[in-house]
C-alpha cells in the first residue's frame, strides 16, 4: 500500500546520494507515496541511468584496466558504493542513484534493480545470476493506471546474505543478516536474520548459527581460514 506522508528517514538518506534528480515528485517517490513517473526530472534521472548502464554493459572486456573502469562506472551510476564491489554485466538499474551498496558486494550476470525507492545492500552480500529487486509498486485500482500514478517501497538486504539465482525480491522487504534465499524464490515478506528461505512465496525452512557462534565452534570447517573481507 502507498503511504500518505513523506518519510523523513528515507529523505535524509537520499540527501547524501550521488546523482539524485531532486524534486517534489522524487521526494514522494522514494517516500512510498503515489507520484507521477513522467515528471521531467524523473525522466532525466532514468535517462541518465540508461546512458551509464549502456556504457557499463558494452565495455569491451579486453579494454586496458577493464576492472578499474567498470568500478568507476558503478560509482558514477549508483548512489553510494563500498570498496570491493563487482557486478557482472549486464546490469539494469532504473535510477541507479537510489541504490546503496556496502563493501565487497558481488552480483553475477543480469542483475535488475527497479530502485523507485531506496535499495540498501549491506557488506559481503552475494547474488547469483538473474536476480531482480523490485521496489516499484502499483495499486490494484484500475483508475490508478488510467491516472498513471505509482509508488515504491524500500528493499533492505543486510550483511552477509546469499541471494540465489533467479530470486525476485518484492517492494518493502527486508532480508536479515546472514540469510540465504534459495534459487528461484519470490520474497514477498521480511526474512529474519540467519535464515534459509525458499519457495514462491518464500518460507523459512531453517535457522542458521550466527557468525559469532560459528567462530566459537571448533568443528566448523571455515573457522581457521583467513578472513578476506
138 has catalytic annotation: yes
Closest to 198 measured CA to CA, from 179, 218, 173, 212: 179
Which triple of cell numbers denotes residue 163?
541471494
The continuous run of DSSP H or E covering 25 comes out as helix 24-31
Catalytic residue chosen out of the listed positions 4, 15, 47, 138: 138
User: In angstroms, what CA-CA distances link 220 with 177, 214, 225?
Assistant: 19, 6, 10
DSSP-assigned beta bridge partners for residue 87: 107
One DSSP character per residue, 58-120 reads T--TTSTTHHHHHHHHHHHHSSEE-TT-EEPSPEEESSSTTEEE-TT-EE-S-EEEE-SS-EE
Distances, alpha carbon 110 to alpha carbons 117, 118, 129, 224, in Å: 20, 20, 6, 34
SS3 24: helix
Active site residues: 138
Amino acid at each position: 500500500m502507498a503511504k500518505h506522508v513523506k518519510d523523513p528517514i528515507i529523505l535524509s538518506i537520499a540527501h547524501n546520494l550521488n546523482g539524485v534528480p531532486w524534486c517534489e515528485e522524487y521526494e514522494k517517490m522514494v517516500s512510498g507515496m503515489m507520484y507521477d513517473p513522467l515528471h521531467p526530472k524523473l525522466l532525466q534521472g532514468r535517462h541518465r541511468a540508461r546512458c551509464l548502464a549502456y556504457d557499463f554493459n558494452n565495455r569491451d572486456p579486453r579494454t586496458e584496466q577493464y576492472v578499474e573502469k567498470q568500478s568507476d562506472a558503478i560509482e558514477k551510476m549508483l548512489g553510494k558504493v563500498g570498496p570491493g564491489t563487482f557486478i557482472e554485466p549486464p546490469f539494469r538499474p532504473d535510477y541507479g542513484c537510489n541504490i546503496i551498496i556496502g563493501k565487497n558486494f558481488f552480483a553475477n550476470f543480469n542483475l535488475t534493480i527497479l530502485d523507485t525507492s531506496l535499495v540498501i545492500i549491506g557488506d559481503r552480500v552475494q547474488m547469483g545470476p538473474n536476480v531482480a529487486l523490485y521496489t516499484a509498486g502499483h495499486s490494484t485500482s484500475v483508475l490508478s493506471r488510467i491516472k498513471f500514478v505509482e509508488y515504491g517501497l524500500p528493499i533492505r538486504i543486510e550483511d552477509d546474505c546469499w541471494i540465489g539465482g533467479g530470486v525476485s525480491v518484492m517492494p518493502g522487504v527486508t532480508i536479515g543478516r546472514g540469510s540465504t534465499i534459495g534459487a528461484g524464490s519470490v520474497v514477498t515478506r521480511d526474512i529474519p536474520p540467519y535464515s534459509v528461505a525458499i519457495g514462491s512465496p518464500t518460507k523459512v525452512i531453517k535457522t542458521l548459527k550466527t557468525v559469532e557462534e560459528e567462530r566459537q565452534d571448533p568443528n566448523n570447517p571455515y573457522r581457521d581460514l583467513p578472513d578476506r573481507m
